[in-house]
Amino acid sequence: MNLWIDADACHTDIRAITINAAVRRGFKVILVANCPIPVPDNELVAFELVPSGPDVADDYIANNCEAGDLVITNDVPLASRIVEKGASGLDPRGGEFTEDTVQERLAMRNFMEEMRMGGMVEGGPSGHSPADTRQFSSALDRLLTKKARGR
């Protein structure tokens, strides 16, 4: 199992928590972004620099992840694509993307986007909080423990 990070918009603390937890359990981590970001010098951590452009990092992850992989992303359309391939996802607030949840979350995301474009709703989700980081860390630990047992 590989662990992918959609690193373009991923909080630094979420990246660090993910890398530390995955490496501690012996999982490979692949960060994908369209601009250079610092990564630890570790054989289990890789960085893929992709060209700039809309959804280029998402396309790279969706095209290269495999069934059983885990993807850290806040991008619901990307989550839908990886779940179709048999991978699972986790957002930076600890919400899981699974076959049971991703279509509902995609529909809600699309609805809210239409509402914003129609001027009926302004803004997006609230900022990332320490409570979100704790929820993410707990969810990641649970998923990695489950995947480690399934090896």
Q: Closest Cα to residue 76, out of 113, 48, 50?
A: 113
Convert the pLDDT of each residue in 95-105 to its tens digit.
998 877 766 76
CA pair distance 121, 107, nearest whole angstrom: 16
Convert the pLDDT of each residue in 117-126 to its tens digit.
777 766 656 6
Global confidence as pTM: 0.85
The CATH topology of domain 2-149 is Rossmann fold (3.40.50)
Q: Where are the domains of the chain?
A: 2-149
CA pair distance 46, 5, nearest whole angstrom: 10
Give, in order, the Cα–Cα distances in Å from 43 to each of 11, 23, 47, 48, 149: 22, 9, 11, 14, 22
Lowest mean per-residue pLDDT among 5-14, 34-43, 46-55, 111-120: 111-120
The secondary structure of 53-104 as a DSSP string is STTHHHHHHHHH--TT-EEE-S-HHHHHHHHHTT-EEE-TTS-EE-TTTHHH
CA pair distance 86, 88, nearest whole angstrom: 7
User: What pLDDT is attached to residue 5?
Assistant: 98
Lowest mean per-residue pLDDT among 55-64, 71-80, 96-105, 136-145: 96-105
CA pair distance 2, 144, nearest whole angstrom: 11
Return the DSSP state at 49.
E
**How many CB atoms sit inside 10 A of residue 124's CB?**
9
